[in-house]
Structure 1
Amino acid sequence: MVNSISKFTIGTIPTLNIFSPSSSLNMQRVLLQAAILEKQSALEAWQQWRNRVDIEKLDSGSHHLLSLLYPNLIRHGIEDSHLSRLKGVYRRTWYANQLLVKSFGSILQGLQTAGIRPLVIGEMALVSTCYSDYGYRPLYGFDLLVPCPQTLTAIDTLQNLGWTIPSSYRPQSGERLWKKPLYFCQPKSPDNALSVSINLHNHLFRGEPQTYIDEQLWTNAVSIQIGNFSTFVLSPVDQLLHLCLKNNREQKQRPIYWLADAALLLKALSEESDWVRLVTQAQRYEIVLPLRYLLSELGEVLNLSPPTWVLPSLNQMAISYYELLAYNLASDRKLLLLKAQLLRLRQRWKQLLVGDFQR
């Protein structure tokens, strides 16, 4: 799947200022180019990265990309002394992910036995649909979306399977997990040495009518096989929009491997109707800014280009107050940035005044 990404590329790697103060991030981007791009562009990026980075002293983001880098170098016939190390990283990723897939299968079986039809989202959905095999991308946890009315049944099922909620919080019947999913963990044991977590969601995108929006996720879902179990994952459009939801919230730096995920999701949007739905749903879900920012960054780093009408359409869309408050992505337009800052300041004053009044 990765090797067909070239249909979106211009054919040359972008010029990055590797001597800037953010040179560490820039070298991550060069590594991403070596792992994703094709032919001469991949070779040039690999040589540039190899000559300037000590592979023995990598940050976590760069190390994550090594699993994706190895098969791309092999595909292009590159012979290098680093290949044996890269092969080891790839094989460890493949083996660890196979164990996680097996563990995930027991979770799916338990939920399905309880009459729940979960949607697989997040990393497991990405690895199972966008990447060529389980060695290409490490998995760090499980994300599941369940219908809101089945939330409590899902919680009880996961707890019966040995998963625990560290906090004492338990949602009420019919309550949507608006801000963040329920976090489940499992104690380390000889049978569970990897000790990953589960994030349980019962809602993804905000909008009206909310019930209809939730139902559409299942309507557009894609049937796949994970291990020995048949299940459903979000459509590529919804996966990309879900990835955008995490885009620079609370001014946190997005991991570099999210760009690899986004690049492969872009490749999966093969029909014009996919792009139309992507743009219209971004406006409906009030995530125009994150989508615009992500597409622009993919163009800057990997020379990936959506259809010519997409970015102009996103740039012309009105940005809601909710977006300005939720995302710190307005810096490309000074007026939007000022408006967002004023809105956040006004919201903060309201919170302070309400607090004073209640006291």
Structure 2
Amino acid sequence: MRRPGLDGSCWPGPVTEEVLRAALLPPDEARAAWTRVRGDIDLRDDAMADRSRLLPLVLHTIGAEAAGDDAPTMKRLHREAFRDNTLHLHHAPSWLDPLQQGRVAVMLLKGLPLALHAYPDLGRRPMSDVDVLVPSPDIARAVDLLVRDGWVCGEANPLPRSWRARHSVPLVHPEGGHIDLHHVPGVPFMGRTEGRASVPEIWAGQRPSELVGRAIALPAPEDLLLNVIVHGVTSIPGWSSRWVADAVVLLRTQSVDWDRLVEHARRHRVVLPVRSALRYLVDEFDAPVPADALWALWAAVASAGDRRRFDLLTGPADDGPMGIGAIRRARWVRLRTAVGPGRAVLATPRFTADLLRVDRTRHVPAAVVRRGRRWAGSRLTPSRTSP
């Protein structure tokens, strides 16, 4: 939904916002927010899927007594998240060892660095996979190393043959493990390269760390914050309320280089989502963002094209002919914005092949014909109604 004074239409609705308040405000205010919202939600409803990921943090904030009859459910969700995240750590050597043995640099993104170093404990930040970043020149070799070690593509699409139109690929292992392997943090960051290395600033600012006894890199707090905001606000097929919790928890626990964040937001043309997101976090959750940083972001010039693209990315996901609706158009807009019109034209065949889920670009015409026939048939076939 839209909010006065903020760009885009990706902001949490009233019910989700109350759940976020219950997770992020001081305990007394959080308990009051939970009391207000509890009558409006059903913890068993499928519509709670996104909000339910916040419930382990809600329990930590308001306490079991205030949770009342919901405490057992919240504790179960906390235990399940702790179990799943522990399994992510258990499976980490199966992807980390092949990459390190192949001399591929590895950095963690998004959820796992936050769960390990920002949240109160490993179970307060549920994760479905582990986001892993490798340098752009090494992405094809990294995929090959993992495939040879038993990893397979985790989606219906074939493994990419070109990375012009892809920023990541999901991989799963038959014996357990699920990662999203990136060569850039997200599509908006694809276009900036130096010597073939995309987003060199994130590698330049890396922080050394350790994962299951192995050396690994973490992004600097400002790079992690930028990634959390941009991914959360502009992700496809829509936004997730979890980015709000991630950003607030990170801001409260990590020291951010604000000049560097502002510089990177300008460089990657993501000023609109970043400044609106930070303004929202300050207004609603009293996030510790310095006024100078907000002023610098709101003083930055955003072109009319940037505004149109941001509105499209955060707008409703309607569908169009042959299934090429707003979600697919948004993918194209993000790619074109990131790599520029010329490189986007070169990437069109691979982009279309990925969109239509075919292995080779020469299969695109036949796939278009099949998709067109199915779409036309669905429009011509009269719908059946129950007597």
TM-score, normalisation: structure 2? 0.69
Separation (CA, whole Å) in 1 of partners of 2:313 and 2:84: 39
Q: 1:220 to 1:168 in 2, by over 3 A?
A: closer
The counterpart of 1:264, out of the listed 239, 246, 249, is: 249
Give 1:322 deviation, angstroms: 6.2
**What do residues 149-202 of structure 1 show as CA deviations (whole Å, max 9, x unaligned)?**
22222111110121223415323xxxxx45432323336x5x33xx63423325
Q: CA RMSD in A?
A: 3.2
SS at match of 2:69: coil
Separation (CA, whole Å) in 1 of partners of 2:34 and 2:300: 38
Report the counterpart of residue 145 of structure 2 in structure 1. 157
Give 1:97 deviation, angstroms: 1.0
**What do residues 226-281 of structure 1 show as CA deviations (whole Å, max 9, x unaligned)?**
2333311111111111123325438853111111111122224535xx11111122
Report the counterpart of residue 17 of structure 2 in structure 1. 29
1:275 aligns with 2:255: no
1:308 aligns with 2:297: no
SS at match of 2:66: coil
Report the counterpart of residue 198 of structure 1 in structure 2. 180
Separation (CA, whole Å) in 2 of partners of 1:251 and 1:169: 19
SS at match of 2:31: helix
1:217 aligns with 2:202: yes
Separation (CA, whole Å) in 2 of partners of 1:64 and 1:180: 27
Report the counterpart of residue 182 of structure 1 in structure 2. 168
SS at match of 2:68: coil
Indicate conservation of the 8 Å contact 2:129/2:180, yes or no: yes
**Letter paired with 2:161:** R
Report the counterpart of residue 223 of structure 2 in structure 1. 238
**Letter paired with 1:217:** I
Give 1:209 deviation, angstroms: 4.2
Count of aligned pairs between the two proteins: 303
1:170 aligns with 2:153: no
Segments of 5+ residues of structure 2 without an aligned counterpart are 1-9, 315-332, 346-387
Q: 1:179 to 1:123 in 2, by over 3 A?
A: farther
Separation (CA, whole Å) in 2 of partners of 1:310 and 1:125: 24
Segments of 5+ residues of structure 1 without an aligned counterpart are 1-21, 172-176, 332-343, 355-359
Separation (CA, whole Å) in 1 of partners of 2:111 and 2:170: 16
Indicate conservation of the 8 Å contact 1:31/1:65, yes or no: yes
**Letter paired with 2:252:** K
What is the identity percentage for the equivalent residue pairs of Structure 1 and Structure 2?
23
Separation (CA, whole Å) in 1 of partners of 2:299 and 2:68: 48
The counterpart of 2:301, out of the listed 318, 323, 327, is: 318
SS at match of 2:126: coil
SS at match of 2:290: coil
Report the counterpart of residue 54 of structure 2 in structure 1. 65
